[in-house]
Amino acid sequence: SPIPGFKALDVASVLDYLEEKPDLAQLLGPRSSPTSWKAREVGDGNLNFVYIVEGPDGGLVVKQALPFLRLVGDDWPLGQQRIGYEAKALETENRYCPEHTPTLHLYDPRMALIVMQYLAPPHVILRLGLTEGHIYPQLADQVSRFLAQTLFHTSLIHLNSEQFRAQQANFLGNIELIRLTEQVIFSEPYFDASNNWHTSPHLDDLAKSFQTDEKIKAAISRLKALFMERGQAMLQADFHTGSLMVTEQTMFAIDAEFAFYGPMAFDVGKIIANLLLAYFASDGHEAAAGQSRQKQRTWLLQAVVEIWEKFESRFLDLWNAEGHGDLYPDSLFGPTAPAGSKSLKRAQQDFMKELFEDCLGMAAAVMTRRIIGIAHIQDFKLIESDDHRAPCERRALELAKSLLLGAPGRSIQQVVTAAESLRKEVPVMNGHA
Amino acid sequence: SPIPGFKALDVASVLDYLEEKPDLAQLLGPRSSPTSWKAREVGDGNLNFVYIVEGPDGGLVVKQALPFLRLVGDDWPLGQQRIGYEAKALETENRYCPEHTPTLHLYDPRMALIVMQYLAPPHVILRLGLTEGHIYPQLADQVSRFLAQTLFHTSLIHLNSEQFRAQQANFLGNIELIRLTEQVIFSEPYFDASNNWHTSPHLDDLAKSFQTDEKIKAAISRLKALFMERGQAMLQADFHTGSLMVTEQTMFAIDAEFAFYGPMAFDVGKIIANLLLAYFASDGHEAAAGQSRQKQRTWLLQAVVEIWEKFESRFLDLWNAEGHGDLYPDSLFGPTAPAGSKSLKRAQQDFMKELFEDCLGMAAAVMTRRIIGIAHIQDFKLIESDDHRAPCERRALELAKSLLLGAPGRSIQQVVTAAESLRKEVPVMNGHA
Ligand SMILES: Nc1ncnc2c1ncn2[C@@H]1O[C@H](COP(=O)(O)OP(=O)(O)O)[C@@H](O)[C@H]1O
Ligand SMILES: Nc1ncnc2c1ncn2[C@@H]1O[C@H](COP(=O)(O)OP(=O)(O)O)[C@@H](O)[C@H]1O
Ligand SMILES: [Mg+2]
Ligand SMILES: [Mg+2]
Ligand SMILES: [Mg+2]
Ligand SMILES: [Mg+2]
Ligand SMILES: [Mg+2]
């Protein structure tokens, strides 16, 4: 049931709503005629309504949560509190990485909406840009900065346990969206869920293997436990290429409504997975595009490597400079502690080794669910022919499987080399066994 | 600052307090004369005041939290909410293991007290019984039941994620006591904290090695992260031999004020550590006792093995019977899922292997802090001569160190064998190097 006093906006009423907020109205400029402010609804997501409002002096975005899942409608009720978690997350992200976070102008709990900075064209959703064949030379650098800044500063390496638990408590109620993730990423692809679908019969054999292999079930359960039990940092928690708006120079993370305290590996792994999916999809777009995408593919794999490597080095730089939290405390690891620096180095190595393995596991889970779970992605959906799409999906799914089952100790370079090999080994026109 | 309306009780006012609660007064029986009800204060703990009240028909225990740490006094303020967490934990423990949990009669938040079942003599604090040389043949069976019942039923293997997070949220505010644990177990022994002390000079070399070895610092940090980040089940969280009241036939877990959602390994490891400490202490008591304690030692090591083995089998039995939570869901692991039973078996093995290693780590941390941290235990303190105590402590500390640094893959039997060897190798009268 909706919040008392709540009213769903539309392209007309959103203008009146903003007019009543002088601070916001001012950003749009004078509403001197009935047409000087204009709104359009652009929500391409599954969950919410998003209005872009433009006036003579600028634009604003209003995102409103209705008490149901937009994709499905009234039949799938969904708490409107989710927008409050998005507001809290945006606040935190703005604190630690304003460069890559839209400014939050207002959170209105009664109306279940937020008003934020409008990311005007040429800003585009990264996923769309990728399917169109674009390259974003700054992306890996920007993504790694956002991840390092937000994950480090919300973790116990930076915070003391009191601050940390207070923050964690803020997100503990975001249960509906957390459960959605648990369900669609960590459960459904691994059993015969009615929501699942895949390119059939091409992938039947491989899809089935995810539901019958006890090693895979053990691996996904370990990752699920990590996701459900380990509150390590505040996650954006939906950090895929559909949640990034980019130009060649800029990158912003939007859509933080899934935010909660979880394992860092989930955010890092999810974006890596989505870039790998884009890599495998590119062959399917090549024919339609009428030109080679080899350059984009080369860049995508470089970006995967660069995201991990720069994330790692940025995170460690932050740790060395601001690691005064309750984990790895200065009393044991500071420069004046006996063997302090040596111990810190070792602890950091252990930490990064474990995090990297978990990232690969999370990446595998995310790739898998996009191919055999409920929610597929434009990268593949835009490849119209099953026969063209299936081999791309198969390559991605084979990589996911090997990451899920793989022995520890791989490097990020080995992962992208494996992706390249799979692209060569699995023939494009002979996808099904 | 104390709760508004709060009043510290004493042995007189506690009687009047109970008289005003007819349900409780009835359990004591008629207060027909001024002396028919009697109260005494028995709080031997560091934190709270505990009154035993007896009347003609029975007894009750009143535990009250004052707004400071009892051991230190007004100078160390401590939130009275801790008694609320104890009440919540007792409620949960009573739901899943009433057999080993005192009945909770009342929780009065304004007065920061609980009223619970009186565990009359011959009930005694287990630690005391152990220092006196007693054997408790049922203990391992009882302890393993309590651990399996409470840890399993509050975990995601049994609960769905909504129930789980609601429960977890209940304990997230127990921050002061959680921080105390973080500090005294996972930090102070590993640096030159002013609180630390040890039998000196006997243990100087060994104590120092805990503060200078980077492998030890890395190991304790991994355990600390586990403790701080992994909300896996509701822990009693202070599950040592001083929190158990026993007879030869019965066992009750008291003093749950540290309860929160943490890693199962902490509860299991803590009790194992305390029995190992009792084992090493026994040599020091032997001379004073004037009789051999070999029988008790044999039993203590058997109990350690039995606790783990019975915990494991009970937990797995519960899992097989009631494992309908969101982790390891029936859809993947149920009997009708493809390869369901086989997959479950494998997942359970992985789970127990990991849990066991973590238990050994936690046990090591607990043993260490009792010998070189702030709070030592009666088991050792009652050994008056430094020269007698030091070798006992050294053996325990050597075991702790080897567990902390040890390669995975050991069995519980190997751990107790190592304890036995250390007892033989480190001579009693030549403790210091
Ligand atoms: N700050 C913004 N500036 C410009 N466009 C935005 C902004 N926020 C969202 N959008 C557009 O609205 C779409 C849906 O927003 P999103 O936050 O992803 O909603 P949902 O939670 O429903 O997925 C985005 O894909 C993007 O096209
Ligand atoms: N239910 C009980 N029945 C009998 N004695 C009890 C009971 N609860 C506590 N005690 C006695 O009071 C002492 C202190 O109680 P405890 O709960 O451990 O307090 P603290 O939190 O201050 O350590 C125990 O060691 C035990 O001797
Ligand atoms: Mg979105
Ligand atoms: Mg969204
Ligand atoms: Mg530090
Ligand atoms: Mg106590
Ligand atoms: Mg206590």
Per-residue three-class SS string for A329-360: CHHHHCCCCCCHHHHHHHHHHHHHHHHHHHHH
CA distances from residue A77 to A2, A66, A70 in whole angstroms, order as listed: 10, 9, 9
Is the peptide bond between A201 and the residue preceding it cis, with omega within 30 degrees of 0? yes
d(CA A280, CA A296): 11
Distance from CA of B191 to the nearest CA of A (A): 6
And the tokens for B123? 């009930």
Tens digits of residue pLDDT in A202-246: 999 999 999 999 999 999 999 999 999 999 999 999 999 999 999
Tens digits of residue pLDDT in B165-192: 999 999 999 999 999 999 999 999 999 9
Asked if A342 is an interface residue toward chain B (Cβ–Cβ < 8 A), one would say: yes
What is the Å distance from ligand 6's center to B399 Cα? Answer: 26
Q: Which of A52, A255, A258 to mutate to test the pocket of ligand 1 (most atoms within 8 A of CB)?
A: A255
- Among the partner-chain residues A164, A173, A187, the one whose CB lies closest to the CB of B332 is A187
Name the percent of chain A lying above pLDDT 70: 98
Q: Are B44 and B2 in contact (CB under 8 A)?
A: no
Q: What is the pLDDT of residue A162?
A: 95
Q: What is the pLDDT of residue B70?
A: 79
- Among the partner-chain residues B168, B190, B347, the one whose CB lies closest to the CB of A217 is B347
- Among the partner-chain residues B179, B329, B345, the one whose CB lies closest to the CB of A161 is B179
pLDDT over threshold 80, residue A183? yes
Distance from CA of A414 to the nearest CA of B (A): 27
Q: What is the pLDDT of residue B99?
A: 98
Radius of gyration, alpha carbons of chain B: 22
Any ligand 1 atom below 6 A from CB of A86: no
For the four alpha carbons of B402, B405, B407 and B410, in that order, the dihedral sign comes to: positive
Q: What ipTM was predicted for this assembly?
A: 0.95
Any ligand 2 atom below 6 A from CB of B30: no
And the tokens for B192? 């030159």
Q: What is the pLDDT of residue B304?
A: 98
d(CA A87, CA A108): 9
Tens digits of residue pLDDT in A121-136: 999 999 999 999 999 9
Q: What is the pLDDT of residue B290?
A: 85
Name the percent of chain B lying above pLDDT 70: 98
For the four alpha carbons of B86, B87, B88 and B92, in that order, the dihedral sign comes to: positive
Task: Kindly report the average pLDDT of chain B as a whole number.
Answer: 95
B residues 147-206 lying closer than 8 A (beta carbon) to A: 156, 161-162, 164-165, 168-169, 172-173, 175, 178-179, 182, 187, 190-191, 193
Smallest CA-to-CA distance from B154 within B165, B144, B140 is with B165
| Band of residue B429 on the pLDDT scale cut at 50, 70, 90 | low
Does A161 contact B172 at a Cβ distance shorter than 8 Å? no
A418-424, long-range: CB within 8 Å, 24+ apart, which pairs?
Answer: A419/A276, A419/A279, A419/A280, A419/A301, A419/A395, A420/A301, A422/A395, A422/A398, A423/A279, A423/A280, A423/A283, A423/A395
And the tokens for B288? 């004073």
Any ligand 2 atom below 6 A from CB of B254: yes
pLDDT over threshold 60, residue A433? no
What is the Å distance from ligand 2's center to B106 Cα? Answer: 16
Ligand 2 atom with least separation from CA of B254: 17
Does A169 contact B172 at a Cβ distance shorter than 8 Å? yes
Q: In order of start, what are the domains of chain B with their CATH numbers?
A: 13-117 (3.30.200.20), 124-425 (3.90.1200.10)
Give B-chain residues touching A156 at CB under 8 angstroms: 225, 228-229
Does B221 contact A347 at a Cβ distance shorter than 8 Å? yes
**The residue type at A373:** G
Tens digits of residue pLDDT in B130-145: 999 999 999 999 999 9
Tens digits of residue pLDDT in A366-412: 999 999 999 999 999 999 999 999 999 999 999 999 999 988 889 99
Entry field: residues in chain A = 433
Any ligand 1 atom below 6 A from CB of A125: yes
Tens digits of residue pLDDT in B52-102: 999 999 999 999 999 988 777 788 888 999 999 999 999 999 999 999 999
pLDDT over threshold 90, residue A337? yes
Q: Which of A14, A47, A63, A177 to mutate to test the pocket of ligand 1 (most atoms within 8 A of CB)?
A: A63
Q: What is the pLDDT of residue A429?
A: 57
Q: What is the pLDDT of residue B74?
A: 80
pLDDT over threshold 60, residue B431? no
Name the percent of chain B lying above pLDDT 90: 90
